[in-house]
Structure 1
């Protein structure tokens, strides 16, 4: 069964997870960075067609294989679409050897206690059932921490693990993502509060289950090692969070056992105007550098 193979690939994690999950709000910016401005599309349907073409180009590139890219996080519309006539998740695993994940959150609430919880997800059970049927291995849900506020951070972690339990109940593996904003002055203090809150919450995960964690690169190298080594944690992955690829790679290489899950830092420098040879070369060097940083620790 592919699930056992996928679990093994994620546990070994000798590579990184590509985050290809920009959603409605962040799609125009992702397209702009790719060299396609707003004048190229006149509505949301055309916009999502263009971003799917970009993602399909990345996924089909010779460099994008399970040897270095162990997983990929998809946006819901990407899961529902096809690449060369094959559903995206199936194509990823069967053709590229890449484990498919799905972004499930529906955006963020307004900030309270320096933190942003996820908006309610009343349709989540239906989405998770659809994801399981589509061959999705796991999910990703994001909250944001912008202050070292104990109450705010506890609320974020409580909600994340509550959603995580719902994901686990559908046989999927949740990637819990409480992102710490990298520009805040009390980032290290926020990370200390977050680590403690996650360690406490991991005790609620059933003994036969595992979750994954997606965290901002820590101010202190190996700060999240207790999480990396925790028996309920399948893998700790790092988000680039606004750092350039070079900076993110340099920081990641100092953190043993953490692998990358980069979005913008992966697609940096890619352009719709590039020939396939130029595009594949640029993507290949990005993948090589992120892979090297992921296995360095």
Structure 2
């Protein structure tokens, strides 16, 4: 049974304009995220200090006056962030209660080695426990990522099947999964891979019961408007786009050309944000970033 908070979050995602901030870098990507933020590896030692530093970065973004539910619909958190507080409240409660930003949780445990042109997700044996924790903290949904490297029909079918199989486990716990089969922007046959992926996603969506909805997080396509059938599908709450290595400028331009899709950017959101900036400089940079992504998301 959904909590009142989760019902209010559903209404916000359905009806409000805005985008989703991806603040969920974890594991191997954390040192890279910190380096881009201006915090080098000689400024911390060990995982605990590293995750402390990244929590400081995320806290600075989330507590900033420019970051609120008027333009930011939701934020995706790493489990380590969910376990921490922001200004004395659990991170997910702070997001929703103080900022009216819907909390999502990254649940995947990373990627398997490439096989059949794709990287499937590693096994998640403790997923039910993580989902119970998410529910206890009024999290609305989850996110899990796998990657398509080339237009291999068998691999892409396997990726879609795995995403939706785990998606059903998440739906059974009353949470809304963000299904994220990323197509690598450097794939030599990206357009063909996207065609195969769309067909597989539609097959999976059509098999869902009409009481369930998912969200999709996809790479911005080569053909403008290519995912319009997914945007319009009754089992899809929202289609969001990852920046995938594109600069913010290019990601925004591609996003604006795809009506009905909103951003869920990570690196493109934090581009230009540095630990060394004064509070005023940080606010101005974050505000400009949020505004440009918001404008591209409302086309």
The normalised TM-score by structure 2 is 0.98
* Offset of residue 169 of structure 1: 0.4
**Equivalent residue, structure 2, for 1:207:** 210
Distance 2:253 2:145 in 1: 24
Residue of structure 2 aligned with 1:288, choices 253, 270, 291: 291
**Equivalent residue, structure 2, for 1:11:** 14
Correspondence list, 1:115-154, <5 A: 115-154=118-157
Q: Is the 8 A contact 1:13 1:259 kept in 2?
A: no
| Uncovered stretches (5+) of structure 2, i.e. residues with no partner | none
Distance 1:109 1:273 in 2: 36
The normalised TM-score by structure 1 is 0.99
Indicate yes or no: 2:198 matched with 1:218: no
Distance 2:295 2:280 in 1: 22
Q: Is the 8 A contact 1:16 1:69 kept in 2?
A: yes
* Offset of residue 152 of structure 1: 0.2
Query: What does the per-residue CA deviation read over 1:115-166, in whole Å, with 9 as the maximum and x for residues that have no partner?
Result: 0100000000110011111110000000000010000000000000001000
Q: Is the 8 A contact 2:163 2:179 kept in 1?
A: yes
* Offset of residue 24 of structure 1: 1.2
**Equivalent residue, structure 2, for 1:99:** 102
**Equivalent residue, structure 2, for 1:192:** 195
* Offset of residue 3 of structure 1: 1.6
Distance 1:227 1:209 in 2: 15
Question: Deviation above 4 Å: which 4+ runs of structure 1?
Answer: none
Distance 1:122 1:130 in 2: 15
* Offset of residue 185 of structure 1: 1.6
Q: Is the 8 A contact 2:5 2:138 kept in 1?
A: no
Correspondence list, 1:47-58, <5 A: 47-58=50-61
Distance 2:151 2:15 in 1: 33
* Offset of residue 34 of structure 1: 0.4
* Offset of residue 204 of structure 1: 2.2
Query: What does the per-residue CA deviation read over 1:221-268, in whole Å, with 9 as the maximum and x for residues that have no partner?
Result: 110000000000000000000000000000000101000000000000
- SS of residue in 2 equivalent to 1:262: coil
Residue of structure 2 aligned with 1:273, choices 256, 276, 279: 276
Aligned-residue Cα RMSD (Å) equals 0.6
